[in-house]
Structure 1
């Protein structure tokens, strides 16, 4: 596969995932209630803390990827444990985002009531599209060498934006409720 075709393929899959999630979230009648809360006092508390844990793990992703690509200043070559750390922190971060996304889409839906809420809805959908594109790009031969770092950086940036427009917003209004 040519680099251009590989890049087009991963971007098309990512765009399709983004659109499907957005259309579902907009068309689905919001249930307005939690499916589960994992012991948290409410859905928003659960979503906020799981998203925050995912964000911390995605920071681990950026640092470990930078180390593996020898872009971490002063660190030298990455030891053998960095690659498994990168994979496991990414997998765990993704798993933590799933209940958050399920509740966003099922219980709340794709909302456009304010600029912050619209930005959050779009960023959440784009996060999963970017993640799908990155994961496919890892397995698809022929992607340009800069493709995975750019896709990974996009996943990071969109998750940060999603967190800023939700969890940070929640924390600034309610403090740091642990339950």
Structure 2
């Protein structure tokens, strides 16, 4: 357990250091059908957040004896959520880097680093059966909180300032 948390922490800190020392390119991703890079990231982030809510509900069901269906839904919604966040994270780190210009941006940068550290720690704990029963729910909750903070400081902020644009 301690090793998984240490590695997850190293991932979080490593991403933060890379984002801080890397010279941002300010090159935005562009996807056909979307008006801007921030719109693409906001919609991908929103889809990932919806899947995180599915994760929360399926985890709750699993811990109440939900069986194989809840477990399968949990695994696949988690995989899809992570896949949706990867292009957003790559763009944020490469194009924008770690920033602290406002409280919102600082919280967003910290939460972004925490997401992948919590994810790595959770996956490492899951791969080693026999650990403490509380470890996976605690790491899952940390991941949920970090992703929620990301969504609040990016997608929701974008939609409230720019509207529901594509």
Q: Which structure has more helix as a fraction of its residues? A: 2
Where has structure 1 moved over 4 Å in runs of 4 or more? none
Query: Is 1:88 equivalent to 2:53 in the alignment?
Result: no
CA deviation after TM superposition for structure 1 residue 12, in Å: 0.3
Check whether the contact 1:38–1:46 (CA below 8 A) recurs between aligned residues: no
Query: Is 1:48 equivalent to 2:42 in the alignment?
Result: yes
CA deviation after TM superposition for structure 1 residue 40, in Å: 1.8
Structure 1: gaps of 5 or more residues:
1-6, 71-76
Query: Is 1:151 equivalent to 2:145 in the alignment?
Result: no
| Cα root mean square deviation, aligned | 1.2
Query: Is 1:58 equivalent to 2:52 in the alignment?
Result: yes
CA deviation after TM superposition for structure 1 residue 79, in Å: 4.6
Return the match for 2:148 from 160, 163, 168.
160
**Partner residue of 1:69?**
63
Aligned length: 166
Task: Provide the TM-score with structure 1 as the length reference.
Answer: 0.89
Distance 1:38 1:115 in 2: 32
Q: Give the match's secondary structure for 1:81.
A: helix
In the TM superposition, 1:1-179 aligns within 5 A as 7-37=1-31, 39-70=33-64, 77-177=65-165, 179=166
Cα gap change, 1:79 to 1:136, in 2 (>3 Å): closer
Check whether the contact 1:25–1:109 (CA below 8 A) recurs between aligned residues: yes
Task: Provide the TM-score with structure 2 as the length reference.
Answer: 0.96
**Partner residue of 1:3?**
none
Distance 1:19 1:8 in 2: 16
Q: State which structure, 1 or 2, has the greater radius of gyration over its C-alpha atoms.
A: 1
